[in-house]
Amino acid sequence: MTSPVPIRPLSTRQQLAALWVFVKRDFSLLTRFKTSYVTDLMGTVQQLVIYAMIARFGTSLPEIEGIPGGYVDFVLTGLALNILLTSALTGPYLGLMESFWSNRIEILLASPVRLPGFITGLSAGKYLDALIQVAIVLVGGWLFFGFEWPSGGNLLLFLVVLVPALVAVIGLGLAGAGMVYLLDARGGQDPVQFAVLTISSLVAGVYFPIQVLPRSVQWLCYLVPQTYALDGMRRALFGAESLAAPSVIAQMPFSPLVVDVCVLVVYAAVALPLGWLLFRHGMELARTDGRLSRWL
């Protein structure tokens, strides 16, 4: 082996600059194809109107009475928070798929950006898009549908719930992205995403309290982190300690908020390393089998 020509490893600042350039790239592309992006955003508006109009009829369910804005606030906070969590779940997969089908994956992996930076960068734009959609839901809800901004809440508590929730969901997202190469899930969805999104949209309390579901399916809610995330964040936002909790959580000797945070922290501690392992294993398998790109 010969003596190498000295090279300069990327500093932390340069790695962060590389991450930021991915976000800038996604933002440039979003704003470049304006018509297409506006069309996508109108989809969010459509969702907002549909769910808000249904919620406006209102309900006298005790689980919702603790929320100042009633069912509208329940639904719109569920919708907004779900958009955020879904983008964390689907971001890695969608980012990887976009670079796969646009033939960019190899040239990006051949650059000095390391794997964590690579997948974070590819996902970053999706979070930006999600934040814009969240703003549309909340501002639109406030302007047109009677959404009341949370006033009795605790922002710090909210973040204490949000951070482990995002980490947990990102771990699941990485596992899903790993399925691209582990299971050839190249068609638009992976099994992890499918399972988590299907379960969470129905039973995690996004659109209605879990207690509304038949008892035979309520147990599913304990499987997904979104249940604890939505419950915890609503409690933190609305100061609604009186909100009824799912039965198992209600039976614990701690406050539901504490239970939510603890479960999320454990979930994050397990999901993130496991998800990362699966993702990295998938990428290594692709490198070994020669399936990184569409070109063999």
Within 107-146, which residues bind another protein (CB under 8 A)?
A: 107-114
Residues 54 to 83: which contact another protein by CB under 8 A?
A: 54-61, 71, 75
For another protein, give the closer residue by CB, 25 or 250. Answer: 25
Q: Which residue has the tokens 């409690």?
A: 235
Distances (CA, A) of 63 to 10, 74, 171, 222, 245: 52, 10, 30, 18, 8
Burial code (b: 16+ CB inside 10 Å, e: under 16) for 71-84 equals bbbbbbbbbbbbbb
Q: Which residue has the tokens 């691209």?
A: 180
Choose one: 7-15, 227-235, 237-245, 259-267; the region binding another protein (CB under 8 A): 7-15
Should residue 12 be labelled a site residue for another protein when binding is judged by CB under 8 A? no
- In this chain, which of 12, 34, 102, 152 binds another protein, going by CB under 8 A? 102
Q: Is the alpha carbon torsion for 70, 72, 77, 79 positive or negative? A: positive
Q: Cβ 29 to another protein, closest distance in Å?
A: 5
DSSP annotation string for 112-178: S--HHHHHHHHHHHHHHHHHHHHHHHHHHHHHHS-PPPP-S--HHHHHHHHHHHHHHHHHHHHHHHH
What is the x/- site pattern for another protein, positions 146-165, by CB under 8 A?
--------------------
Should residue 281 be labelled a site residue for another protein when binding is judged by CB under 8 A? no
Should residue 33 be labelled a site residue for another protein when binding is judged by CB under 8 A? yes
Q: Cβ 268 to another protein, closest distance in Å?
A: 26
Q: For the chain, first and last CA: distance in Å?
A: 30
Of 81, 200, 171, the closest CA to residue 131 belongs to 81
CA distance 194 to 236: 29
Rg, C-alpha atoms of the chain: 21
- In this chain, which of 34, 151, 156, 187 binds another protein, going by CB under 8 A? 187
For another protein, give the closer residue by CB, 26 or 264. Answer: 26
- In this chain, which of 93, 145, 147, 208 binds another protein, going by CB under 8 A? 208
Choose one: 155-163, 182-190, 251-259, 270-278; the region binding another protein (CB under 8 A): 182-190
Should residue 191 be labelled a site residue for another protein when binding is judged by CB under 8 A? yes
Choose one: 50-58, 153-161, 229-237, 251-259; the region binding another protein (CB under 8 A): 50-58
Helices 155-182 and 225-238: angle between axes, nearest 10 degrees? 160
- In this chain, which of 34, 152, 215, 295 binds another protein, going by CB under 8 A? 295
Residues 162 to 181: which contact another protein by CB under 8 A?
A: 179
For another protein, give the closer residue by CB, 208 or 239. Answer: 208
Residue 217: CB atoms within 10 A of its CB come to 12
